[in-house]
Structure formats: structure tokens, C-alpha cells
Amino acid sequence: MDVQEKSAIDKSAIEPPVAGADTIAAVSSGSGGAVAVIRLSGPQAGAVLVALAGRLPEPRRAHLARLRHPTSGEVLDQGLALWFPGPRSATGEDMAELQIHGGRAVVAAVLGAVLAVPGLRPAEAGEFTRRAFLNGRMDLTEAEGLADLIGAQTQAQRRLAFAHAFGHLGQRVEDWRRRLIRAMALIEAGIDFADEDDVPAGARALARPEVEALQAELQAALADRRGALVREGALIAIAGLPNAGKSSLINALAQRDIAIVSDEPGTTRDLLEVALDLDGHKATLVDTAGLREAESKVEAEGIRRARARIADADLVLWVHDLSAGPAPEACPSIEVDAPLWLVANKIDRADAAPAPSAGWAVQDYNVSAASGEGLEALTRGIGGFIAARTEGEHPALIRARHRASAGQAAAHLAVALGQWERLDDELLAEELRLAARALGRMTGAIGVEDLLDVVFREFCIGK
Ligand SMILES: Nc1nc2c(ncn2[C@@H]2O[C@H](COP(=O)(O)OP(=O)(O)OP(=O)(O)O)[C@@H](O)[C@H]2O)c(=O)[nH]1
Ligand SMILES: [K+]
Ligand SMILES: [Mg+2]
């Protein structure tokens, strides 16, 4: 079989060719700015510029123009017109951009005039990016990265999304896929030339180390949770005995009154979550019910939920009330895989007795949720914890979709490697082919019709 043919990106199978498509237009800038940007893509983009601005500007140069309504001739605004002929444009099609005054009436008038040109229609959400993908200007992972870049809230998210948007993940996956296809070709050579003596009976032996290496890389990528940690944020559970000051602590860290605080033990029942930017890292803090023998069914349910959420956490802060006595040597009532930090609270109280306790992952946070003392150090500590967990080379897998594809690929490779000597050539090659296919779905190189709506609906209109 022809290796080239298999590795080629075949998008013609996905949708009819885009040539002859509608020309789309949308306001691509956010609302309320002094300048608004109207973007156009499609075969009529140039015609719109001629109709409104009077001429086609030099490619990729801003040109100051009076913009007129194409039929009435009324001057609507003065702004910059730009012309990006395809295929060297963002979408691969002819594109145009009008930078105009951002007032609502101006934008409505100019957009109305653009859409009055025959062949024009308003763009749907994500449609520019979708066209860029269909025209081979970016792969699916780059499109996802772009969505993340636009939505990034913390600096760590921005950095990861930027790498992702500009091909970091796509290149890794294509590299895996190419190597897999090479190994498959070796084995298939064995199939095609089975009767000939000079074909390496050792084709399998040659292919195996490569497949093993690939499997190891896939496993390492799957084991690496940094992508989710940056994108979705670290989950930090606040746990402790009743009245330790957990709700007071989440309020103090969030600088908002989100949880009810009272001197009555067993106040918190439901899980309460708040997303915070801690030193440039996204974290979700969750306040939980105080852990004890519950006094009511509702409290028991609260405690059950607390334990379940604590088990999922990336970090657990065990809040201890120093006025109730020195901190215990080790956590009294939970066992988790995540690091458990001791946060000794209420140091403002005269009867507080801070004392080092050795049995904790980190044990020197003495704070007062009431006065705020020690909270800055705690925030920095948590930021540092997330930073340490996410540093290094950018992770290969970021979304659940990527993990699912990589997981499928790894499962096929596991079958292949597990029965390497027993499977006949066709079956062995088939497992490798299925693994390559799973990887191809990640970048959109093959078989992704069903994914497109999922990926592109995340975008806003104009992107
Ligand atoms: N002096 C002092 N009192 C505090 C501090 N933090 C909390 N408290 C008090 O401790 C009591 C319990 O606080 P909460 O925040 O409701 O404690 P909790 O751990 O959420 O309690 P449950 O939800 O019932 O498990 C309240 O009366 C708070 O005002 C602190 O740093 N100093
Ligand atoms: K309480
Ligand atoms: Mg509480």
C-alpha cells in the first residue's frame, strides 16, 4: 500500500469543496470599543471592497477610504480597508477587513451595506476558523488552541493555548502518526512480498522497537495531567473538622462572601466552589462540610459529597483550629493521593498554640482567616505548587478529546505489542492502522465530520 496516500490529509471527504461558497461577514471586534473590525471571507470579499471603498487596496496594506452604501451611495463612515487575497489568507479564501468607528449605528450601517452585496451572508459562530481548517490552513488542535487563547483567563492558560494554537500539539501528533505509518509500511511490505526471499523476514523485528518507543511516548503523554491542570485549573479542596474556619478561609482567599460562616458546627453542607487566579494560575477552590459523625441525614450527605470531592482534588488544605489545641501530627480523618497541607487557622486568638507537626506534606502555614495574616504566603505557596506541577515542556494532550484519541491509539498498540509474534501480518498491520487512525482524528487529518460541530461551536461569531 502507498504510504504517501495514507498519510496525506484528505479533507475532500469531509465537506464539499469550499470554492463557490458563500461569502461571510461578521463584526470580529468586541463590543464597546472605539474601533470595530468587520471581517469578510469568500469569493465576493474583493467585490465588497470595490463596492464600498471604491477600489481594491494593495494586498495586505491598510488603505484609508470613505465607505459608501453600494446602492444609495451615502457615505457611512471613513475607515481602513484591507485586502487579503487567498490562498495566503487566514481562511485560505479571499478575505477583506474594514476597520471602522465602533459606534453601534456606524457598525450597523456598514455591516448592513456589506450584507447588501449579492452573495454575502452573516457568518456563523466559528465559521472563519472552520473555513481555515477545511482549507488546510490549520489543524483541529490549532483551532482548539485558538479557542482557548481567546478564552484564556490566566497567564499560564495563555501560554499553553498559544503553543497549542500554533501547532505544538498538532506537530507532535503528526510525528507520532508518521512514525506509526512507517512501521505499518514495513509490516505491509512483508505482506506484499511474502514469497520473495530478499524481503526482510525481519520486517517485524525492525518495526517493533519503533512501535514500542511510540507506545512509551503515548503512555507518558497520557500520564501527564498538566494540560488539564492548566486549562481547567487545579482543584484545591478545603477540608477539616467542623468550625475549623474552612468557609472563613475560602471567603478570605476569594475576597468575597461566598460561603456562610457561623459559630455553629456543621454549617456547610453543599460543596461550594470558586474559581480564582492564584499568582497567574487557575485554581478552583472548594469548601466542604466539616468531617465528623453526622448529626442529621442532610449533614451526612454533605460529608459524603465532601469526601468524594476531596478524593478528586489536586491538593487538599486541611484547616485546623489552633484554639482547639495544637495541630495533630497527621491528618486525622482522610487519606488521599494528593498532597495534604496543614493550614493552622485562628492564630489571632490568644489561646492559639502554633507548633510544628511533622506528619504533613507542608505544615508551616499559620493563618488567620479573620485578620488575613498568613494568607498571602498561602496564596503564593499554592501558586508555586501549581507552577511546579505544570512547568517544563508543553504537555502533548490538553483536552478530554485528545486523551480519548491517544488512549485508543495506545490500546491498539497494546494489542499489537502483546501479540506481536502471534498475529499474522494483516492483523498486526490492522492494529497499527487503527492506532494511526485514532491519532489522525486528533488533528483532523482523517474522519472527523462528527467532530467539527463540537470543535467549532466553541467560537464566537466573527472568529
Ligand atoms: N478568631 C478567629 N475566628 C475564626 C477564624 N476563622 C474562623 N473563625 C470563626 O470560627 C467559626 C467557624 O467558622 P466557619 O468558617 O464557619 O468554619 P467551618 O470550618 O466552615 O465550619 P463548618 O462549615 O461548620 O464545618 C466562626 O465563628 C468564625 O467566625 C479566625 O481566623 N480567627
Ligand atoms: K461553622
Ligand atoms: Mg463551613
Whole-number pLDDT of residue 4: 38
The residue type found at 276 is L
Q: Is 72 exposed, middle or buried (0-12, 13-18, 19+ CB in 10 A)?
A: exposed
CATH topology of domain 149-224+397-443: Four Helix Bundle (Hemerythrin (Met), subunit A) (1.20.120)
Dihedral sign of CA atoms 180, 182, 185, 190 in order: negative
CA distance 116 to 376: 57
Whole-number pLDDT of residue 446: 73
Phi, psi of 188 (to 5 degrees): -70, -30
- Is CATH 3.40.50.150 correct for 230-390? no
Which mutation among 238, 241, 243 tests ligand 1's pocket best, with the greatest number of atoms within 8 A of CB? 243
Q: Which ligand is located closest to the Cα atom of residue 290?
A: 1
CB 58 within 8 A of CB 124: no
Q: In this structure, which residue's CA is closest to atom 21 in ligand 1?
A: 243
CA distance 38 to 28: 6
Whole-number pLDDT of residue 20: 54
Q: How many CB atoms lie within 10 A of CB 73?
A: 7
* ipTM of the modeled complex: 0.99
The residue type found at 360 is W
Whole-number pLDDT of residue 192: 57
Residues annotated as binding site for (6S)-5-formyl-5,6,7,8-tetrahydrofolate? 39, 97, 137, 463
CATH architecture designation of domain 3-137: 2-Layer Sandwich (3.30)
DSSP state of 125: T
Residues annotated as binding site? 39, 97, 137, 243-248, 262-268, 287-290, 463
CA distance 315 to 334: 13
Ligand 2 centroid, distance to 248 Cα (angstroms): 9
Q: How many CB atoms lie within 10 A of CB 198?
A: 6
153 lines ligand 1 (CB under 6 A): no
Taking the alpha carbons at both ends of the chain, their separation in whole angstroms is 40
Whole-number pLDDT of residue 389: 87
CA distance 339 to 81: 56
Q: In this structure, which residue's CA is closest to atom 8 in ligand 1?
A: 245
The C-alpha cell 491542570 sits at 229
Strand partners, 300: none
Q: Which atom of ligand 1 is nearest to the CA of 263?
A: 27
Whole-number pLDDT of residue 8: 40
CA distance 246 to 256: 14
Whole-number pLDDT of residue 17: 41
Concatenated DSSP letters for 258-273?
-S---SSTT---S-EE
The residue type found at 203 is A
Q: Please name which of 419, 443, 403, 446 lies closest in space to residue 144, comparing C-alpha atoms.
A: 443
Ligand 1 centroid, distance to 256 Cα (angstroms): 15
246 lines ligand 1 (CB under 6 A): yes
CA distance 192 to 1: 9
258 lines ligand 1 (CB under 6 A): no
244 lines ligand 1 (CB under 6 A): yes
Per domain, the residue ranges of the chain are 3-137, 149-224+397-443, 230-390
Q: How far is CA 172 from CA 116, 217, 245, 436, 437, in A?
A: 45, 10, 46, 13, 15
Strand partners, 82: 97
The residue type found at 46 is G
CB 215 within 8 A of CB 229: no
pLDDT block averages, 10 residues each, the chain of length 463: 39 44 92 91 96 96 96 96 96 97 95 95 93 93 92 90 90 92 83 54 83 96 89 93 97 95 96 90 94 93 96 95 91 89 95 80 89 95 90 86 94 96 89 93 75 69 76
